[in-house]
Amino acid sequence: MSKLTDVPKRILIGRALRSDRLGETLLPKRIALPVFASDPLSSVAYAPGEVLLVLSIAGVSAYHFSPWIAVAVVVLMFTVVASYRQNVHAYPSGGGDYEVATTNLGPRAGLTVASALLVDYVLTVAVSIASGIENLGSAIPFVVEHKVLCASAVIVLLTLMNLRGVRESGKLFAIPTYVFVGGVFIMIAWGAFRGLVLGDTMRAPTAGFHIKAEHQGLAGFALVFLLLRAFSSGCAALTGVEAISNGVPAFRKPKSKNAATTLALMGLLAVTMFCGIIALAMTTKVRMAEHPATDLINGSTPVGSGYVQNPVISQVAEAVFGKGSFLFVLLAAATALVLFLAANTAYNGFPLLGSILAQDRYLPRQLHTRGDRLAFSNGIVLLAGAAALLVVIYGADSTRLIQLYIVGVFVSFTLSQTGMVRHWNRHLAAEKDPAKRSHMIRSRAINAFGAFFTGLVLVVVLVTKFTHGAWVALLGMVIFYATMTAIRKHYDRVAEEIAAPEGPADDMVRPSRVHSVVLISKIHRPTLRALAYARLMRSDTLEALTVNVDPAETKALREEWERRGIDVPLKVLDSPYREITRPVIEYVKSLRKESPRDAVSVIIPEYVVGHWYEHLLHNQSALRLKGRLLFTPGIMVTSVPYQLQSSEAAKLRARKRQEWSAPGAVRRGPAAERPKEPTTAAED
């Protein structure tokens, strides 16, 4: 990449950081909270609405179940938070659920958890941004009219911000997150004061609407199933809780203590806001419907397809603060922003988990490499691409996307907590100290209850959401699992092939003789340079090789060869069908067949050009030959470059790039990002 393209890169993501500055990117708790907890905190903006949407199937009369569903979600949240506090203390290395499951339940369980989390992280980005677009669209119609385009633009913006580094993106995200949390608490407090102290009657803009129930008067099993489905939708408030256990290495010391404190604070804030919004929604008589155009009735007629159903939090804010008021606008803007930034939880979790999986050889090794700003850049870009694809496929519709959601996270919850129970059983078997045993027994009880409860919720989610889209998430998990398994098998197979043996190896035995063959098409400077290089090798035999595809040219080559007195034998291969590659390959193979213990060195002269379009102006036959020869055992291929004048321009660009990009030369090792040499093209 030239200096011309480096300039915008540095403007967008900043100057490269040295590897020894990694410690400067560690997060204090005040920044770690918005970085890792923005997803569960922001989910209160859409989770209450999802509960009411499901209950609306049975009509407004079913809304009185929403407080009980909120209580169940709160109990589950506290259970998961308490369970994960045990995780961060026991496994502070950053592997999170993947490490817990792999260590205690085996590689297959760990890979299942990893597949679930990768799917969940992609969905977190898609759902958060789609929901943010819908919230912003309540104030700016253009946004909701071009949802896919706007959502894709937000993904690109978030990707660039995260490529600048975790700490820097955390500072940018902290302000809107704290403004959102503060705004919701002010709304809850002011709404409670107006309702309980002043006795004001607060009404949401949909309070006068009626809901056309799809199934009026549900009872028995049908009602229980509806309530379970509403509960599973409300469980979206728990997504992202596991991100803190995966991100412990990003905290400042003491890492485990700071992560556990952040986890507890996140849980307390999330459940308080969730319950407060549900209570205000009931008080202000918010009405939501899965199909508002036909199921919301204003007077005696449906609202129609032109009606835009605003999220619950927007309707509550309008009822409490008043439409157009400063606090209403501030909360609406902060809600949209924090929903966009909630995707940052995934932008931190996905690349980190991808790095760990790459280290364990389940994903390509490039995902383990840090970029210029010491972030896992390849993982960030991969996540952005997958999320953008989902946004396009599902039209940035949060209601459709959320049906795919939370399946993966509860798979990881359940397996992780089951693994923690195994962890405590193993340690209890060896621990003799009564105080430590008592602490372990208490921790095991917490994790056992967490495993049971999250497992129960997983069953509920699978039963109630499978036909509504959860099967897509499961399919994604299967694809990730199969892909990672195949990648691991490939890496294991390659490692086994190239492992150095203890005793003598065939690769270390010196060949009996070396036959050198120089490929030529005509006599020119590149050919003479290749011949001179071949003579320096002092091979046992040396010959020049050409293919007769044009008798006139071959005759002229022979005559000039003799006229110049070149003391290297010229071998001419006949090719009646004017092929070049096959005759050369067959001839080289015949040399190997005659003397299997001999090595054959094929020397190919090449031009070095300075511009990409010059590649199109030269015959690529030598490059095809090189590609075929590389797959032939016992054949060594050597390129002898000849620099054309245009290559000087490429050399100058490379030198400038080296001077400009020196700070970014640190990747996984000191030589990992050296400037590339000028590109080559095959000789004519």
**Mind listing the pLDDT tens digit for each residue in 86-116?**
878 777 766 678 888 888 898 999 899 889 8
pLDDT score, position 653:
63
pLDDT score, position 187:
92
36 or 130, which is more confident: 130
How would you label 7-33 residue by residue, b for 16+ Cβ within 10 Å and e otherwise?
A: eebbeebeebbeeeeeeebbbeeebbb
The answer to whether residue 32 scores a pLDDT higher than 80 is no
Inter-residue contact 102 to 334 (CB < 8 Å): no
Provide the token pair at 279. Answer: 């209570």
Q: Give all domains of the chain, ordered by start, each with its CATH number.
A: 23-491 (1.20.1740.10), 509-682 (3.40.50)
pLDDT in tens, 163-220: 765 444 556 667 888 888 899 999 999 999 988 888 888 888 888 887 776 666 556 6
Give the model's confidence band at 459: pLDDT under 50 very low, under 70 low, under 90 confident, else very high: confident
Inter-residue contact 342 to 348 (CB < 8 Å): no
Query: Any idea what DSSP says for residue 461?
Result: H
In angstroms, the CA 465 to CA 228 distance is 10
pLDDT score, position 431:
81
pLDDT score, position 663:
37
| Sign of the Cα pseudo-torsion (573, 579, 580, 585, in order) | negative
Q: What's the chain's average pLDDT?
A: 77
- Over range 453-480, report the average pLDDT: 82
pLDDT score, position 668:
44
The pTM of the full predicted model, rounded to 2 decimals, is 0.66
Query: Any idea what DSSP says for residue 682?
Result: E
Q: Which of 157, 103, 104, 96 is nearest to 129 (CA)?
A: 157
Give the model's confidence band at 676: pLDDT under 50 very low, under 70 low, under 90 confident, else very high: very low
| Sign of the Cα pseudo-torsion (392, 397, 400, 404, in order) | positive
Provide the token pair at 177. Answer: 């997150």
Inter-residue contact 604 to 637 (CB < 8 Å): yes
pLDDT score, position 375:
59
Find all residues with CB under 8 Å of 407, minimum gap 6, and list them.
116, 119, 120, 458, 461, 462, 465, 470, 473, 474, 477
pLDDT score, position 185:
92
Provide the token pair at 13. Answer: 């993501």
